Structure 1
Amino acid sequence: MYEDLTVEAIKSRILARLTTNLQTREGSYTNDVISAAAAEIAEVYHSMDALVPAFYLDETSGTYIDKQAAVVGIVRKAGTKASCAITFTGTDGAQVPSGTPFYTAAGLAFLLRETAVIADGTATGMLDAAQVGDLYNIGAGEITQTLKNYSGISGYANEAAAGGTDPESDASLLARYLDRMRRTATSGNPYHYQQWANSVAGVGASRVIAKWDGPGTVKVILTDPNMEPAAPETVEQCAAYIEQQRPVGADVTVTAARAKELAVTAEVTIDGSTTREAVQTAFEKAVKEYFGTVVGSVFGQNLDGQLDTLEAETYTVSYNRISAILLMIPGVVDHTTLLVGGGTENISMAPDEVPVLTEVTVS
């Protein structure tokens, strides 16, 4: 904004304002004093550029998003910790103390919630991730290490972990702030329910259907931050929070979005700059991003069971868009076969459904 206000430009403007006959040539006392002042003034002008993202928020505004969002009661979601069950085998009476750390091969730490005591050869406990984050949603059997061996414990195996979410991104927090400023959420209208739902950790997007089962009924449909069905514990927490906030008399149902599982299979022609494995990895990532964009857009549009014909309020996952995504991957020349959900047509999604990518195969 102030790129033209250089030290030399400011200095020239000051010199032009002088009405005395003082010597102003380079090296003179007057010139030296004005040069120093011009340098400081230029620094002030240039530092004012940093105020623009503080007043006009975008995804680059960083902590200013938090500060302005806090003014209207919106706080960045801190993320949640994953948890999983673990089964121990060993001698009856043997114990594993609460707080015992267990680790994956990658070094992700989990802590035993309560002391586990072997009875009839086994014991079951719960592990909580040491930190928040989606990274801790590990698969079954991925915990392989602990710091010490406990007497009488011969083995252990974990189930898949769930419930871990990353701290809210700048983009997500900004979107919630802008929704709050642009949409009137009041008196338990659909935007109000959406605002309550989106403030709960683990919720990525929500869609509200007013009067879905007649007057006085409200359905709130939730996704996780990856725009896939929200975890059961997130649904439970969201329902409890909305119950504290909602107007008296409303009959509220909070549920996870229904998953429509889609596998994608492609036969491609590639050039020498890439491999099919690299194409498959890039394609999977891009398709997931496309699914997320579609869901995020659709779930921003609430519905009314009496004003809208819900059966007709479908949306589409575009076959041609997925084809274009594949062709845009570097090194892909063409594809001879592309199946999305087993077919070559657009996929129709119900208003409470989200597409979930189950598998990508590139040959």
Structure 2
Amino acid sequence: MYEGQTFEAILERMLNRVPSNVDKRPGSIIYDALAPAAAELAQLYMELDTNINLSYADTATGEYLERRTGEFGINREQATKARRKGLFYASGDVPIDVPVGSRFSINDLDYTAISKISTGQWMLECETPGVIGNQEFGPLLPIDYIDGLVRAELADVLVPGEDAETDDSLRQRYMDAINEQPFGGNVSDYKQKINAIPGVGGTKIFPVWNGGGTVKATIIAANFGPTSQILIDEVQTLIDPEVNSGLGIGLAPIGHKVTVTGAQAQVINVTATLTLAPDTTIGQVQQDVEDALSAYLLSIRQAWANESALIVRVAQVESRILTVPGVVDVANTQLNGSATNVVLTDEQIPVFGTVTLSE
């Protein structure tokens, strides 16, 4: 914004104001007197430019962005704690219950039993907020002794934990709120309210899907994977507790009969024939290929909420495989047994299945 306010430009303008019969060469008295002032002015202009950028939502960051969005009631979403399924067994793999509040550990993470799902199955909450609570699976160690407990396991992600909202996400929510004007149960209003619920990563709204006054909200989990029934039930309770009542008991307006569902998982199995570099085997590239394809499907799921329908493309699968070191060429690629793209419905998401490679 303050282009042309460099040290050299400022000093040149200052020297131009000095009469020409005065020595203005570097090292002269007037030059040495003006140069420090010009340097301070150049620094001041840089700080002014930074301050102006921090005043507008499209360029502000950190607390300055929060102060701008907060003026419109849009605040940064804080990190949330993951809720997981814990499995508990006594001798002989007999399911056993544990006390509410009992704590368990896995790889420096601690989980607390908060509610019972069924005998031997409990909802655990990670004591550390953020996505880190979604990542571990496997054997749990009880922090305190529990009589009769022989084995404990950390299983499904029921409600994904989320990290604190990024600047980009906060800025986008602010722009959406300003430009789309959510109001009184319109599509933008539903999206804003449901997306703000912990554990929800995106929402599609289907108005009048089953007659007048009906609304269908399909959600994807915050980790962009399939949605657990527990999360679906929580969202349903907040939006319209008495399903299809239209009484306006939840966040939905009076007269709106809301049904909440989860995005449907479509497994994608891949087969391909590879040409490998010398001294490279299928076993050496298998994991890298799986990681590349898993990342590709994740990128598709991340775009789900803003796309009418998703397509898993053979060409994209092949291009991802070709990025793996040691892979020279790929042919005969099939998705779910067909050489064509997989076109999903507007409520489906692709999830990683199997990868079968051959030479």
On whether the aligned pair clears a TM of 0.5, the verdict is yes
**Match for 1:299: what amino acid?**
A
Q: Which of 1 and 2 has higher RCO (CA within 8 Å, sep 6+)?
A: 1
Q: 2: distance between equivalents of 1:151 and 1:184?
A: 53
Conservation of the 8 A alpha-carbon contact between 1:316 and 1:347: yes
Rate the CA distance shift 1:128–1:299 in 2: closer, same or farther, 3 A.
closer
Q: Matches of residues 308-323 of structure 1 in structure 2 within 5 Å? A: 315-323=310-318
Q: Matches of residues 250-329 of structure 1 in structure 2 within 5 Å? A: 250-271=256-277, 276=282, 279-300=285-306, 315-329=310-324
Conservation of the 8 A alpha-carbon contact between 2:313 and 2:341: yes
Unaligned runs of 5+ in 1: 116-121, 302-312
Q: Matches of residues 33-112 of structure 1 in structure 2 within 5 Å? A: 33-50=33-50, 51-52=52-53, 55=56, 57=58, 61-77=61-77, 78-87=79-88, 89=90, 99-104=101-106, 106-112=107-113
Number of residues of Structure 1 aligned to a counterpart in Structure 2: 339
Name the SS of the counterpart of 1:299 in structure 2.
helix
Equivalent residue in structure 1 for 2:339, among 325, 336, 344: 344
Q: CA RMSD in A?
A: 3.5
2:5 alignment counterpart: 5
Rate the CA distance shift 1:134–1:278 in 2: closer, same or farther, 3 A.
farther
1:356 is displaced (CA, Å) by 1.3
1:215 is displaced (CA, Å) by 1.0
Conservation of the 8 A alpha-carbon contact between 1:132 and 1:166: yes
Q: Is 1:357 equivalent to 2:359 in the alignment?
A: no
Q: Equivalent pairs: percent with the same residue?
A: 29
Q: Is 1:203 equivalent to 2:203 in the alignment?
A: no
**Match for 1:173: what amino acid?**
L
**Match for 1:164: what amino acid?**
P
Name the SS of the counterpart of 2:90 in structure 1.
strand
Rate the CA distance shift 1:215–1:151 in 2: closer, same or farther, 3 A.
closer
Using the size of structure 1 for normalisation, the TM-score is: 0.78
Rate the CA distance shift 1:315–1:40 in 2: closer, same or farther, 3 A.
same
Equivalent residue in structure 1 for 2:172, among 172, 175, 180: 175
Q: 1: distance between equivalents of 2:279 and 2:33?
A: 61
Q: 1: distance between equivalents of 2:343 and 2:113?
A: 44
Return 169-178 or 200-209, whichever deviates more: 169-178
**Match for 1:110: what amino acid?**
Y
Unaligned runs of 5+ in 2: 241-249
**Match for 2:335: what amino acid?**
V
Name the SS of the counterpart of 1:227 in structure 2.
coil
Could you list the per-position Cα deviations for residues 1-40 of structure 1 after superposition, in whole angstroms to 9, with x for gaps in the alignment?
A: 6575332322111111234866544445543332221111
Q: 2: distance between equivalents of 1:266 and 1:182?
A: 45
Name the SS of the counterpart of 2:306 in structure 1.
coil
Using the size of structure 2 for normalisation, the TM-score is: 0.79
**Match for 2:109: what amino acid?**
L
